[in-house]
Structure 1
Amino acid sequence: MTASPAVVTGLGVIAANGVGAEEYWEASLAGKNAIGEVSAFDSSSYPIRLAGEARDFTGADHLPSRLTKQTDRATQMSLVATEWALADAGVEPETFRDYDMGVVTSSAAGGYGFGQAELQKLWGQGSEFVSVYQSYAWFYAVNTGQVSIRHGMRGSNSVLVGEQAGGLDAVAHARRNIRNDAATLMVTGGTETTLCPWGWVAHVADSRVSRKSQAHEAYLPFDVEASGHVPGEGGAILITENADTWRARGGGNVYGELAGHASTFDPPPESGRGSTLDRAVLNALADAGVTPDEVDVVFADAAGLPELDAAEARALTKIFGPSGVPVTAPKTMFGRLYGGGGPLDLATALLSIRHDTIPPTTNTQVRAADCASLDLVLGEPRRSEVRTALVIARGYGGFNAATVVRDHPH
């Protein structure tokens, strides 16, 4: 493996509380809660009606009509976020060799909205009315495919499906490709949306989603009143580069280094063996070559369910000690984003490093007794030197992932 690390040089962010990295960061520091009743469809007959909806994003405002006709909203988010991330990085793809660039994204749902619209045509009008683009617009890998086609990125291209944890695993795979000299530049991350009736019935069937009707009560991780999470839409795309080639092209914008990563899978609940989240964190720290006392902030998975929050609190307390490290979960402002959640947490961690500021966890008021050992950043942002950050993500079914990012000298 090459000694050159993988660095993040560009960010493209779409979230309910801010479209674009700068707007998102300012909203997160302000504690802007963007969770509200779904407007993308009539949710009045459903037992859950709250979501983190990116109301300020419209794909047609940024993409040619030929692309919007071919793609789901989630793919449009990936395409636009990639454009923003490339511009942020100062990257012109045509100046790279096509096989030196690759794409790896995460997805948990694929193009739900596009798929539903075409199935409605099939059932209501007949097969001749179904778009030919249905053949791939619904698919998990379509975001990777469309980004690679649009920018001529013919190198290593793939998709990882691991629910919320899959986003961190996708970024780790991009890092692996760079460190193995399989690419000099990787577009990575993920965007997700399930705000359509077809996607919504999946949330209704999910006992992890909160049934609360008030936005400020619905998603309260680590709180005595925790009752689940709120679904959101959006995510982040990151431009990752080989540090040597980044310097060779001028060494401009850089947010930090992808320093370490690890994934584990929990045993079946009936086994009685417990979560392996602590092992994922310890292995990620070891991969990065850092000790727990060198970590300046943890961006928590923050499931919002008492038993899952308690398990995360136990793991963090075991590794860092009681109140041993600041812990935050800005996703309370916009919901859990599944395949887009881990990448957006990574982007937020990198912005924290750049600005030496930890954004707050909103809504949470009274910590649950089994989460009292956590030093939660509540209500207001916390000014603090941030050089190394840990991001945690867990996916439904036992997926665990942990990624370490740190400052990288210009």
Structure 2
Amino acid sequence: MSPVECPVEAAITGIGVVAPNGLTIDDYWNSVLAGKSGLRHITRFDATPYACRVAGEVPGFVETDHMPGRLVPQTDRWTHLGLAAAAMALDDAGVDPAALPEYDMAVVTASSSGGTEFGQREIEALWRRGPRSVGAYQSIAWFYAATTGQTSIRYGMRGPCGVLATEQAGGLDALAQARRLLRGGSRMVMTGGADASLCPYGLVAQTANGLLSGSDDPGNAYQPFGRTARGYVPGEGGAMFVMEDADAATGAPYGVLAGYMATFDPPPGVDRPPGLERAVRGALGDAGCDPGDIDVVFADSAGVARLDRLEADAITAVFGPRGVPVTAPKTMTGRLYAGGAALDVATALLAIRDGVIPPTAGAYDLADGIDIDLVRGGPRPAAVRTALVIARGYGGFNAALVLRGRPAGATTTEGRV
């Protein structure tokens, strides 16, 4: 259904962020604008024997600061991060779930690897002490829908609930599904994505794709579009959002989800082009935008030469050589899988709010033939009205999402301009 046919504007009214370089919206945004990286040597376990030893860990996160203590042993760290971000988003939006009809509230999240750390602990218990030592919560804590389920239970959100499992693209796919739910009659949707798989079991699973950086230098390990790109750095965290109809929103929207499209790449060896450019053009079409209407592109930024070239070529094909500012602030967090694109959406909304394009951290040269205007060296002041976010998931998933600034006539609240 096109925006013309359906009057519902999907507005994002609350943001919650849990990231390697910030545990709140303000902390994260200040870190991004300052170029402060959250990439460091892995400390959650001894990563010396592993091919990847640098990651974006969320430091100083105390689970019981964000949820009831009884939930902590029942759930995985990925769910802890998601619940914390959801609570922040509700508070930011000024929404009290207890005051809304329970079946009018929906939840849809993205998940990539699920509860790997919880699962690893239970597998170790099984191996060392036998089946009676495996807890009952193993049956649900690892499941990729656990964060959706726990959010629904905690806040009494009994409307349509679901999860999208399309790796990094899932953060955009979840928001698009949230828009569909609003158009279908839901009053409020909690949406977004988070991931946390920095444990031995999780890191081994990630390493299998052959795309992770093996650099021991956190400052240069992740160089998307760079001449010396050596792979991406993994991370944990993400962002959650309160999405409402703009005309009935509780608070002042950060912006609206104006356009979206997802595609899937053909299998290797097939004489068909990748689907990323088609996803970008489709999202622009859904938003009623021309390429010249886009003020900034938040790139997927794989940090892998072949994938970077495909993305740069798609951006150049749509916008022309150096035709639009491009940024990749995930160089300060790592790729967060299901949380990565969601965090990019949060960053894009803050860029629209404050009129500034955040930088791509790291001083490195672009690879030959990469003809994009990559924002580096520091924030770039700009009138950011419309932003494009690109995400790709391992295995061929592509998604593109257009965000437009606060609708005309929306109520202004302090701190949102």
**Alignment match, 2:207:** 204
The amino acid across from 2:173 in the alignment is D
The answer to whether the aligner puts 1:90 opposite 2:88 as a matched pair is no
Partner of 2:392: 394
In 1, Cα distance between equivalents of 2:381 and 2:247: 32
Paired residues of 1:222 and 1:364 also in contact (CA < 8 A): no
Using the size of structure 1 for normalisation, the TM-score is 0.97
Q: CA deviation at 1:364?
A: 4.7
Q: How does 1:184-195 map to 2 (within 5 A)?
A: 184-195=187-198
- 2:302 maps to a residue whose letter is A
Residues 351 and 358, structure 2, Cα contact 8 Å, conserved in 1:
yes
1:382: which partner in 2?
Answer: 380
Within 1, Cα distance between the matches of 2:161 and 2:353?
29
Tell me how far apart the structure 2 counterparts of residues 274 and 362 of structure 1 sit (CA, whole Å): 31
Could you list the runs of 5+ residues in structure 1 that have no partner in the other structure?
none
1:50-65 aligned within 5 A: 50-65=54-69
Tell me the secondary structure at the aligned position of residue 402 of structure 1.
strand
Number of residue pairs aligned between Structure 1 and Structure 2: 404
Equivalence for 2:320? 321
Aligned to 2:296: 297
- Cα distance in 2 between the residues matched to 1:346 and 1:187: 14
What CA distance in whole angstroms lies between the structure 2 residues aligned with 1:76 and 1:64? 10
Secondary structure in 1 matching 2:369: helix
List gaps (5 residues or longer) in structure 2: 411-417
Q: CA deviation at 1:69?
A: 1.2
Does the 8 Å contact 1:221/1:364 carry over to 2?
no
- CA apart distance, 1:257: 0.3
Give per-residue Cα distances to partners, 1:14-54, cap 9 Å, x unaligned: 11011111100000000011111111111111121110000
CA contact (8 A) 1:359 1:382 kept: yes
Deviation at 1:395, TM superposition (A): 0.7
Q: Name the counterpart of 1:139.
A: 143
Deviations 1:362-403 (A, max 9, x none): 1251011121x1011002000000000000000111100000
Tell me the SS of whatever aligns to 2:269: helix
| Aligned equivalent of 2:219 | 216
C-alpha separation in 2, matches of 1:362 and 1:37? 17
Q: Are residues 1:153 and 2:157 paired?
A: yes
One-letter code aligned to 2:327: T
Stretches of 4+ aligned residues off by more than 3 angstroms: none
Q: Does 1:167 align with 2:171?
A: yes
Give the match for residue 133 of structure 2. Answer: 129
Matched, 1:334 2:333: yes
**2:105 matched to 1:104?**
no
Query: Which letter maps to 2:275?
Result: T
Name the CA distance, whole Å, in 2 between partners of 1:217 and 1:143. 33
**Counterpart of 2:111 in structure 1: which amino acid?**
S
SS in structure 1 of the partner of residue 257 of structure 2: strand
Question: 1:170 is aligned with what amino acid?
Answer: A
Give the drift of 1:274.
2.5
1:24 and 2:23 aligned: no
- Secondary structure of 1:19's match? coil
User: How far is the alpha carbon of 1:70 from its aligned partner?
Assistant: 0.6
Aligned with 1:238: secondary structure? strand
Identity among equivalent pairs (%)? 53
Contact 2:18 2:84 in 1 (8 A): no
Q: How big is each residue's C-alpha offset from its partner over 1:128-156, in whole Å with a ceiling of 9 and x where there is no partner?
A: 22111111000000000000000000001
Instruction: Tell me how far apart the structure 1 counterparts of residues 144 and 88 of structure 2 sit (CA, whole Å).
Output: 22
Q: How does 1:9-48 map to 2 (within 5 A)?
A: 9-48=13-52
What is the Cα deviation at residue 272 of structure 1?
3.2
